[in-house]
C-alpha cells in the first residue's frame, strides 16, 4: 500500500500546517544539515505509532513545535551537525510555541481507496488517534495498520540511518533475531513457545482422543449391532408370540369345531348305538364261530402237517422208483433210437429191392411181350398155313432148343430174383411187423413217461406247498417267540421303571406329602394361566439347574422367589392379585417382566475363583424370562465347597452372596446361615423330575399295552 503524502502541523521543526508530497514509487529527500530530513522520518514513524524513545525524544511533548530563542552569537552553518536538530528537544520556550502537534499520513490501497491515519499530541503528552477523521483507540488504530501489513513493533516499514551498516555487521543469530523482529514474530516468541507446548499437548490429546474415539466408535458400532440384534430378537420374539397366539387360537378354533362336530357325531352315533350293539353281538357270535373254525383249521393244519410229513416220507420212498423210471425211460429212448435206425436201414433195403424187383418185372414184361408177339406171329402163320412144313418145324425146334440153351442163365437169374423177392418180401413184412411193435412200445413208453412226469410234477408241487407251509409255520413260530421275548423284556423294563418311579415317589413324597397350600397354589396358578394369557408360571417351573448337584444351592439362592409367579406386564400382575383377592385364593408374589428392577451382572465373577460360578450360569431358562431370573439370582455365587466361599467373601473381600452345594450361605454382611437340613435339599426340582418321569413311564406303559392289544 503506497504512501501518498504526509501532512504535519507544528511537529518538531515544522511550524504550522505543512503538506509533504505526493510521494512517487521512489522519492529522495535531500538537503543540508538541519533542514529537517530526519524530522520527516520521525513524522512518518510518529504517525505510524512508533514510541517516543525511537523518535529521538524522551517525552512525547518534546515533539510539539516550540518557538526559537534569539540567537546570542553568530552561527556558522558549516559547523552545524545532525545533533543541532536536537535543540528542538530543549525545554526552553521560544516565540510562537504551539499547544499541540499532529501528523496525517495518506495511504492508498490496491482498490485505490485512500486511508487517513492521523496522530495528535499535546504539550501534556496525551495522544489522540484518528482513522479516516474518526477518533479511535490505539488498539483499533494499530489493528488497521496491521491489516495493511504495517507492523509498528517490528518496524518493517522504515530503514533508519545506520541500519544497513548495522545489519551487515550482525551475526547469523542477530540477523535471525532482526528478521523475527521485522516480521513481528519476536514479540510472539513466548506466545509461540506456549502455543507450541499447547500444540504438542493438543497433538497428544488429539492422538489420545483419536485412539479413544476409534475405540468408542468400535464400541458404538458393536453396541449398534447388539442393539440391532436385540431389536431383531425382540421383533422375532414378538412375531413368535403372535404366531404362537395365532396358532393357539387356530387350535382352539378347530378344537371348538371338532367339539361341535363330535357332539353332532355323538348324537348321531348314539342313535345308531343300539343297532351297532346288536351288530356287535352278532359279530361276537361270528367271532366265536370264527374262533371255532380257527380251532378246526388249526386241527386241520396239524393233520395236513402230518400228511405233509407222510407225503415227504412217501416222496423219499418214491425217489428210488423215480430213479428206476428215469433209467427205464433212458433205456427205452436208446432202444427207440436203435429201432429207428434199423427201420431206416430196412426201409433203404426195401427201396433197393423194390427197384431191383421193378427192373426184373420190366424184363419179364418185355420177355412176355416178345413171347406173345412170337405166339401171335405163329398164330397168324398158322392161319395162313395150318401146318408147318417139316423144315419149319425142325427149324422151330432147333430155335426152341437154342433158346432154351441160350436163356438158361436168364431163367436162373429170374428164378433167383423171384426167390430173393419172396425172401425180401418176407423180411420186409417182418421188419414192418417189428417196426409196428417198436412204435407201439415207443408209444407205450411215451405214455409211461408222461404219466411219470405228471406224477413227478404233482409230487414236486405238493412238496413245494408243504415246504411253504412249513416255512410259514416256522416263521410264525419264530415271530411268536420274538414277540414273547420282546414282551418279556418290555415287561421287565416297565417293571424296573415303575419300581424306580415308585421308589422316587416314596422318597420325594409327591403323591402323599404335598401340602395343602402347595396344591392350592398350583390350582390357583392353573386358573390364572387359563384366564390371563400373560401368566408364564412360577420361577421353579420356568428354570432348571444344569446339574443335579446345583439344585440345593439354587433353591437357597432363589429363596422366597422360588414360588413367585412371572407375568409379562404389571397390569397382568394387578389383575391376578385382584382375582386372587376376589376368589380368596391366598397370596402370591408376582414378578412383572416389564417393570421389574434388575442389577447388571458383574462379569468378573464368571472367572473370579476356581469352583465359584454365577447362579444365573448354572440354571436353564427361556430368554423371555431372563429379567425375572436376573432379579431372583442377582450376582449370587454357587461355590463347590465352603473353602471357596470363604476365599471369595473373606479373603478377597467381595460383598456378594455365596452359597455352597450343601446350602450353606455366606451373606454380604459376612454372616453364615443354612445347611442341607435347613433348606431341605432340592425337593422342588425332585418333584418336577418325579412328575415328568411318572408321566413318561405311564406313557411308555400305555404304548406297550396298546402294542400288546394290537
Beta bridge partners of 639: 612, 660
Q: How high is the pLDDT of residue 376?
A: 76
Pairing of strands 637-639, 658-660: parallel
Q: Locate cell 418325579: which residue? A: 690
Query: Which of left, alpha, beta for 224 (phi over 0: left; psi -120 to 50: alpha)?
Result: alpha
- Which one, of 4, 8, 89, 16, lies nearest residue 43 by Cα? 8
**Predicted confidence band at 618 (pLDDT cuts at 50, 70, 90)?**
very high
CB count, 10 Å around CB of 237?
Answer: 13
Read off the pLDDT of residues 396-429 as tens digits, 9 standing for 90 and up. Answer: 777 767 666 665 666 677 777 777 777 877 877 7
Task: Report the alpha-carbon angle 357-360-364, nearest 5.
Answer: 135
Q: What is the mean pLDDT of residues 243-271?
A: 85
Q: Cβ–Cβ contacts within 10 Å for residue 509, how many? A: 13
| Average pLDDT rounded to a whole number, residues 673-692 | 59
List domains and CATH numbers for the chain.
3-66+86-152 (3.40.50.300), 192-480 (no CATH), 534-709 (3.30.70.1620)
From 225, 17, 210, select the one nearest 120 (Cα to Cα): 17
* pLDDT for residue 478: 80
CA nearest neighbour of 524 among 582, 570, 568: 582
**Model confidence pLDDT, tens digit, residues 35-71:** 778 888 888 888 887 776 667 777 777 788 876 544 4
Q: What is the pLDDT of residue 574?
A: 92
Would you state the pLDDT for residue 445?
75
CA distance 517 to 587: 10
Stronger pLDDT, 500 or 556, i.e. the higher one: 556
Q: Which residues contact 567 (CB under 8 A, 6 or more apart)?
A: 532, 534, 535, 536, 573, 576, 590, 591, 592, 593
Cross-strand pairs, 638: 613, 659
Sorting pLDDT into bands at 50, 70 and 90, what band is 590?
very high
Beta carbons of 442 and 336 less than 8 angstroms apart:
yes
Which of the 8 DSSP states describes residue 64?
B
Cell 501489513, located at residue: 149
CA–CA separation, 267 and 272 (whole Å): 9
Report for 193-202, 438-447, 534-543, 689-698: range of highest mean pLDDT: 534-543
Across the chain, mean pLDDT equals 78
Confidence of residue 639 (pLDDT cuts 50, 70, 90): very high
Position 502 scores a pLDDT of 62
520-576 pLDDT tens trace: 888 888 889 898 888 999 999 899 999 999 999 999 999 889 989 999 999 999 999
How is residue 632 written as a grid cell? Answer: 431372583
3-state secondary structure of 542: helix
Kindly give, in sequence order, each residue whose CB lies less than 8 Å from that of residue 138, ignoring residues fewer than 6 positions away.
Answer: 49, 127, 129
Q: Which pLDDT band, with edges at 50, 70 and 90, does 89 fall under?
A: very low
What pLDDT was estimated at residue 73?
Answer: 42
Closest CA to 622 of 295, 209, 244: 244
Contact 630, 601 (CB under 8 A): yes
**683-709 vs 551-558: helix axis angle to the nearest 10?**
120
Average pLDDT over residues 226-233: 89
pLDDT tens for residues 463-493?
A: 788 778 777 877 877 887 787 788 778 777 7
Q: How far apart are CA 9 and CA 120, in angstroms?
A: 9
Which pLDDT does position 584 carry in this prediction? 84
Query: Can you name the residues that pair with 103 across neighbouring β-strands?
Result: 8, 119
Cβ(549)–Cβ(685) below 8 Å: no
Amino acid at each position: 500500500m503506497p504512501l501518498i503524502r504526509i501532512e504535519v502541523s507544528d511537529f518538531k521543526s515544522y511550524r504550522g500546517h505543512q503538506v509533504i508530497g505526493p510521494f512517487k514509487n521512489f522519492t529522495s529527500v535531500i538537503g543540508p544539515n538541519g533542514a529537517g530530513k530526519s524530522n520527516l522520518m520521525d513524522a512518518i514513524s510518529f504517525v505510524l505509532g512508533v514510541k517516543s524513545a525511537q523518535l529521538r525524544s524522551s517525552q512525547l511533548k518534546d515533539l510539539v513545535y516550540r518557538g526559537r530563542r534569539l540567537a546570542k552569537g553568530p552561527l556558522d552553518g558549516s559547523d552545524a551537525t545532525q545533533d543541532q536538530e536536537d535543540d528542538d528537544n530543549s525545554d526552553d520556550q521560544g516565540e510562537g510555541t504551539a499547544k499541540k502537534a499532529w501528523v496525517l499520513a495518506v495511504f492508498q490501497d490496491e482498490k485505490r481507496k485512500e486511508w487517513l491515519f492521523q496522530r495528535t499530541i499535546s504539550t501534556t503528552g496525551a495522544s489522540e488517534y484518528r482513522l479516516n477523521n474518526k477518533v479511535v483507540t490505539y488498539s483499533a488504530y494499530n489493528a488497521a495498520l496491521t491489516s495493511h501489513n504495517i507492523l509498528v513493533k517490528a518496524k518493517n516499514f522504515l530503514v533508519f540511518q545506520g541500519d544497513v551498516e548495522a545489519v551487515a555487521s550482525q551475526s547469523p543469530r542477530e540477523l535471525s533475531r532482526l528478521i523475527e523482529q521485522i516480521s513481528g514474530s519476536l514479540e510472539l516468541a513466548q506466545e509461540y513457545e506456549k502455543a507450541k507446548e499447547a500444540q504438542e499437548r493438543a497433538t497428544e490429546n488429539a492422538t489420545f482422543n483419536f485412539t479413544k474415539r476409534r475405540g468408542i466408535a468400535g464400541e458404538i458400532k458393536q453396541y449398534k449391532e447388539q442393539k440391532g440384534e436385540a431389536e431383531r430378537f425382540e421383533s422375532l420374539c414378538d412375531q413368535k408370540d403372535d404366531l404362537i397366539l395365532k396358532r393357539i387360537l387356530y387350535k382352539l378354533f378347530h378344537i371348538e369345531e371338532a367339539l361341535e362336530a363330535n357332539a353332532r357325531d355323538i348324537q348321531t352315533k348314539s342313535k345308531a348305538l343300539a343297532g351297532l350293539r346288536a351288530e356287535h353281538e352278532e359279530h361276537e357270535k361270528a367271532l366265536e364261530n370264527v374262533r371255532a373254525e380257527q380251532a378246526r383249521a388249526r386241527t386241520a393244519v396239524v393233520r395236513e402237517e402230518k400228511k405233509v410229513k407222510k407225503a415227504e416220507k412217501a416222496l423219499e420212498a418214491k425217489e428210488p422208483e423215480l430213479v428206476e423210471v428215469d433209467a427205464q425211460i433212458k433205456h427205452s429212448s436208446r432202444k427207440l433210437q436203435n429201432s429207428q435206425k434199423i427201420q431206416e436201414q430196412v426201409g433203404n433195403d426195401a427201396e433197393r429191392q423194390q427197384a431191383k424187383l421193378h427192373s426184373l418185372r420190366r424184363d419179364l414184361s418185355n420177355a412176355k411181350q416178345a413171347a406173345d408177339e412170337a405166339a401171335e406171329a405163329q398164330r397168324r402163320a398158322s392161319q395162313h398155313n395150318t401146318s408147318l412144313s417139316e423144315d419149319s418145324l425142325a427149324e422151330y425146334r432147333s430155335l426152341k432148343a437154342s433158346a432154351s440153351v441160350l436163356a438158361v442163365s436168364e431163367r436162373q437169374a429170374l428164378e433167383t430174383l423171384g426167390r430173393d423177392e419172396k425172401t425180401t418180401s418176407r423180411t420186409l413184412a417182418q421188419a414192418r411187423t417189428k417196426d409196428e411193435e417198436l412204435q407201439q412200445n415207443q408209444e407205450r413208453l411215451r405214455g409211461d413217461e408222461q404219466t411219470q412226469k405228471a406224477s413227478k410234477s404233482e409230487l414236486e408241487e405238493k412238496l413245494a406247498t408243504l415246504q411253504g407251509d412249513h416255512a410259514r409255520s416256522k416263521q410264525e413260530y419264530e415271530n411268536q417267540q420274538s414277540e414273547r421275548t420282546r414282551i418279556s423284556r418290555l415287561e421287565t423294563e416297565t417293571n424296573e421303571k415303575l419300581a424306580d418311579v415308585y421308589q422316587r415317589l416314596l422318597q420325594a413324597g409327591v403323591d402323599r406329602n404335598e401340602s395343602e397350600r402347595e396344591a392350592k397354589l398350583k390350582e390357583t396358578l392353573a386358573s390364572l394361566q387359563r384366564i390371563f394369557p400373560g401368566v408364564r408360571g412360577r420361577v421353579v417351573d420356568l428354570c432348571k439347574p444344569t446339574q443335579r448337584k446345583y439344585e440345593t444351592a439354587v433353591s437357597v439362592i432363589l429363596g422366597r422367589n422360588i414360588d413367585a409367579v412371572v407375568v409379562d406386564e404389571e397390569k397382568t400382575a394387578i389383575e391376578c392379585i385382584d382375582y386372587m383377592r376376589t376368589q380368596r385364593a391366598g397370596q402370591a408374589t408376582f414378578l412383572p417382566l416389564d417393570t421389574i428392577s434388575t442389577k447388571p451382572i458383574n462379569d468378573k465373577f464368571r472367572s473370579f475363583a476356581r469352583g465359584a460360578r454365577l447362579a444365573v450360569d448354572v440354571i436353564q431358562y427361556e430368554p423371555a424370562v431372563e429379567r425375572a431370573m436376573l432379579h431372583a439370582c442377582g450376582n449370587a455365587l454357587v461355590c463347590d465347597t465352603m473353602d471357596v466361599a470363604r476365599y471369595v467373601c473373606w479373603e478377597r473381600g467381595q460383598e456378594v452372596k455365596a452359597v455352597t452345594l450343601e446350602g450353606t450361605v455366606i451373606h454380604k454382611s459376612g454372616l453364615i446361615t443354612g445347611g442341607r437340613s435347613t433348606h431341605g435339599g432340592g425337593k422342588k426340582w425332585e418333584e418336577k423330575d418325579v412328575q415328568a418321569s411318572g408321566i413318561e413311564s405311564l406313557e411308555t406303559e400305555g404304548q406297550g399295552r396298546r402294542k400288546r392289544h394290537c
